[in-house]
Structure 1
Amino acid sequence: MYRGHTIGVIVPAYNEESHVGGVLETMPEFVDRIYAVDDRSTDDTWEIIREYAAASRRSTDEERVDSAADERPAPYASLPDGGTIEGTEIVAIRHEENQGAGGALRTGYVRARDDGMDVVVTIDADGQMDPDQLPKLLDPIVEGEADYAKGNRLADRESRREMPPFRLFGNWLLTQLTKIASGYWTLQDPQNGYTAITNEALSAVDIESLPDDHEYPNDLLVRLNVAGMRVADVSMPAKYADEESTIDYKRFIPITSVTLLHGFLRRMRVRLADDRGDPAALGYLIGVASLAGAVAFAVAAGVNAIQDETPLRELFTTGLAFAASAVVFLVAMGIDAAANAGKGVRR
C-alpha cells in the first residue's frame, strides 16, 4: 500500500525471459499485487513468471503462519536465483493466444479493476522502466492532481539524448498528432508505457474495448479526455540496453494514424453532443470544409494548367483558400487547448 492506496502493477510480457524476472524482483515493497501477463511467449517467460508467482504464494503463506504465532516479521520466500519476494502477491496470467501489447494490458486492467486496486500501474517487462521511479508516478494521483499519470522521456535534454534518433523523431511526430486527437495539449511521449491510473478512471473508459496493438496508449488518452479525466506528465529517464522493440512500424504507423483519426472524430462528436455550439468542434468542421474547398480549387487550377488556361486569379484564390483553412485550424486548436488546459498536469 502506498500512502493509503492499494497498488496493483501490470507487467505484460512477450518473450522477455532475460528481463521479466529482474522486473518482478525489483518491484517496491509497497506494491500489493503484480499481474504478470504472459502473451503466449515462445521462450521461457511463462516458466519464470510461474516461479516468481509460486515464490510469492510461499511468502504470503509464511507471513500468515508467522503472524498467527507471534508478531515477528515473516521470513521472505527465496527464489531459484537467490533473490527474494518481499510479501507482494504475484498473479500469473497466460493468454491462450497472442493478443498483442494492448491485449495483454487489457487483461491486466480488467483483473486489477475487478480486484478493487485503488491505483493500477503498467510497467513493461523489458527492464526499460525503473521501479524506483514508481513513487514519482503515483504522487500526482494520491495527491488528487490527476486520474492518470504517465512517464515522459522527453522532459529534459539528457533523457532525449538517451533515445535513439529514429525513436525520438517518431515520438515527436506522434506527440503532435496525439495532442490534436486527445485534447491533452501539454503532454509529450504518448507511447510511454510507464503509467498509473485510478480505479475510477478505469471504470469510466470501457477498458474492455482497448485496442490489441501498440496504439493502445493513444486510444486510451482520447477515452480519458472524453471521460473528463486529468492526465499528469511525469519526467522519467530513458533507458535502453539490449532489449528489442516488438513494434512492426509498417503496421504501427497506419494503424495508429487511423486510431488517432477515429479518436479525434469521437471526441468532437461528444463535444458537439454536449454543446452544439462548441467553438472548437465547429472550428474544426469549418476548417475541414475550407480545406476541401482549397483542394477543389487546386484540382481545378491543375486541370486549367494542363490546358494552359490557368489565370493568375485562380492561383491566388487557391492559395488564399489554403491559407484560410490553415488559420481556421489554428484558431480551433487554440480554443481546444484553452478548453482542456485544466486537464493536463506537468511534473
Structure 2
Amino acid sequence: MPAYNEEAAIAKSVLGARPHADAILVVDDGSRDETVPIAEALGAIVICHETNRGYGGALQTIFATARNLDVEELVIIDADGQHNPREIPGLLDELRQGSDVVIGSRFVGGNGEGIPAYRKVGMKVLDTATAMAGNGLSISDSQSGFRAYGRRAIDAIRVSGEGMSAGSEILIQISDHHLKVAEVPIQVRYDIEGTSSENPVSHGVGVLMDIVRLISLRRPLVFFGIPGVLFASLGLGAELFTFSQYYRAGQFHYIIFTGGFAALILGLLLAAVGMILYSLVQIIEQGSSVAGKSHRED
C-alpha cells in the first residue's frame, strides 16, 4: 500500500489487510508523521522514499519489490482508509479464476452510489481519455487504486510516470500486453477527512493532462492528424471563398485570406507532425517487438 502522512489510518489498513496476505508492504512516500513507525510496529515491510515522489513513484517501488520477492499475487490498496480490506478476497477470487488483473470498481453492480456528482463526471472523462490512449480497453473505473495483479501482470507492468495518472498508464500497458482484466464491485468511503492533499478539480485536470500527453505520444495521427485536417480544410475553404468573392464581386477580404492561409499552414504542419511521429512510433514498436522476441528465444 502506498502511504503518505497516513498515521491516522495506517494501523487500521495494515491490520485489516493482514488476514488476507502473506506479507504487507508499505511504501512510505516521504511522510513527515508517524506512518513509518506505526507500520513497522505492526509487522509490515516498510520501504521509505527520502522525498515525496508521488503515487506513480510509489507504484514503481511496489512493482519492483514484488518482482524482487518473486510474488505470485499482488494486491494494491490505499492506506487512507477509503478502501475496505475485507473486500480483498473478492479480488483474489476473481484473479484465481484466470484473470491477470482485477480492478475494484465503484460502478460495477451499481451506479456509483455515494460518489459525489462532480467526481462521477471527472471519472468518466478520465475513463474515456484512458480508453483513447490505450487500445480501446473498456473499464468502468479506470481511476480505482484498489487492484489485484497476477504473475504475468507483475512481470509486464513498468510504471514510468510518478503522478496520479500512473493508474491509467498501467491500464494502457495491460492493453498493450493483452492481459485479461476483470472488475468486481467495491465500496469506497468519502466521509474520511484528509484522504487527499490535492484539490479534486486540480487533481483531475492534472491527471487528464498527463493522459493527453500519453495520447499524443501513442496516437499521434489522432492527436495531431485530425486537428490538422480540420484546420487545413477550414483554411482551404476560407481561401476559396476569398478568391471566389474577388472574381465575382471584385472584393478581396484580406482578413479572411490571412486567417485562412494561417489555418491552412497550421493544419498542414499538424498533419506532417502526426505522420512523422506515427512513423517513429511504428519504428520503436517494431524494434521493441524484435527485441522481445529475441529475448524469449534466448
- TM-score bin, normalised by smaller chain: 0.7 to 0.9
Query: Which of the numbers 174, 186, 195 marks the counterpart of 1:236?
Result: 186
2:30 counterpart letter in structure 1: R
- The equivalences for 1:258-297 within 5 A come to 258-262=210-214, 265-266=217-218, 285=221, 289=225, 291-297=227-233
2:144 is equivalent to residue 192 of structure 1: yes
Q: Which amino acid aligns with 1:166?
A: Y
Residue 213 (structure 1) aligns with: 163
Is 1:91 the counterpart of 2:45 in the alignment? yes
Contact 1:28 1:132 in 2 (8 A): no
Determine the C-alpha separation between the residues in 2 that align with 1:219 and 1:256.
12
1:180 — aligned with what?
Answer: 132
Q: Which amino acid aligns with 2:160?
A: L
Deviation at 1:43, TM superposition (A): 1.6
- In structure 2, the CA distance between the partners of 1:117 and 1:184, relative to structure 1 (3 Å rule), is farther
Shift of 1:133: 0.8
What residue number does 1:118 align with? 72
Of 101, 121, 125 in structure 2, the residue corresponding to residue 148 of structure 1 is 101
2: distance between equivalents of 1:47 and 1:296? Answer: 61
Q: Distance in 2 between matches of 1:286 and 1:184?
A: 14
Partner-residue secondary structure (3-state), 1:93: strand
Separation (CA, whole Å) in 2 of partners of 1:91 and 1:286: 44
One of 250, 253, 259 as aligned partner of 1:307: 253
Q: Answer yes or no: is the 8 Å Cα contact 2:215–2:223 preserved in 1.
A: no
Counterpart pick for 2:93 among 139, 147, 156? 139
Which of 24, 29, 32 lines up with 2:19 in the alignment? 29
Q: Post-superposition shift, 1:109?
A: 1.7
State the AA in 1 paired with 2:101: Y
Find the aligned partners of 2:62 and 2:222 in 1 and give their Cα distance. Answer: 41
Identity, % of aligned positions: 27
- Determine the structure 1 residue equivalent to 2:296: none
Deviation, 1:139, is 1.8
**Alpha-carbon contact 1:147-1:231 (below 8 Å) kept:** yes
Task: Please give the alpha-carbon distance, in whole angstroms, between the structure 2 residues aligned to 1:289 and 1:166.
Answer: 32
- Residues 264 and 229 (structure 1 numbering): CA distance in 2 closer, same or farther, change over 3 Å? farther
1:200-254: CA deviation from partner (whole Å, max 9, x where unpaired): 222123x2x4311101010011111111211112221232122332345536524
Cα 1:36–1:177 shift into 2, 3 Å: same
Cross-structure match for 1:101: 55
Task: Report deviation, 1:17.
Answer: 1.0
Structure 1 residue aligned with 2:172 = 222
In structure 2, distance between residues paired with 1:186 and 1:138:
21
- Scaled by the length of structure 1, what TM-score is found? 0.63
Aligned match of 2:266: none
Question: Using a 3 Å threshold, how does the CA distance of structure 1 residues 285 and 94 change in structure 2: closer, same or farther?
Answer: closer
- RMSD (Å) for aligned C-alpha atoms: 3.0
Separation (CA, whole Å) in 1 of partners of 2:63 and 2:107: 26
Aligned length: 248
Q: Please, which of 5, 10, 17 is the counterpart of residue 15 of structure 1?
A: 5
Q: From 176, 181, 197, give the equivalent of 1:246.
A: 197
| Distance of 1:286 and 1:211 partners within structure 2 | 22
What TM-score comes out, normalization by structure 2 length? 0.73
Aligned residue for 1:37, secondary structure, equals strand
* 2:153 is the counterpart of 1:201: yes
CA shift, 1:32, in A, is 0.1
Secondary structure class of the residue paired with 2:75:
strand
Within 2, Cα distance between the matches of 1:134 and 1:294? 48
Query: Structure 1 residue 112: deviation in Å?
Result: 1.7
- In the alignment, the residues of structure 1 paired with residue 162 and residue 230 of structure 2 have an alpha-carbon distance, to the nearest angstrom, of 37
Tell me the SS of whatever aligns to 2:42.
helix
Q: Give the CA deviation at 1:172.
A: 0.8
The answer on whether the counterparts of 1:149 and 1:233 sit within 8 Å (CA) in structure 2 is yes
**Offset from partner CA, 1:106-140 (integer Å, 9 cap, x none):** 21221122111110110101111111111111122
Q: 1:298 to 1:120 in 2, by over 3 A?
A: same
Report the 3-state secondary structure (helix = DSSP H, G, I; strand = E; otherwise coil) of the residue aligned with 1:212: coil
Rounded to whole Å, the distance in 1 between the matches of 2:153 and 2:210 is 24
Q: Point out where structure 1 has 5 or more consecutive residues left out of the alignment.
A: 1-10, 54-89, 269-283, 315-347
CA contact (8 A) 1:148 1:195 kept: yes
Structure 2: state its 5+ residue gaps. 243-251, 261-298
The 8 Å contact of residues 219 and 263 in structure 1, kept in 2 or not, is answered as: no
Distance of 1:29 and 1:19 partners within structure 2: 17
Contact 1:175 1:188 in 2 (8 A): yes
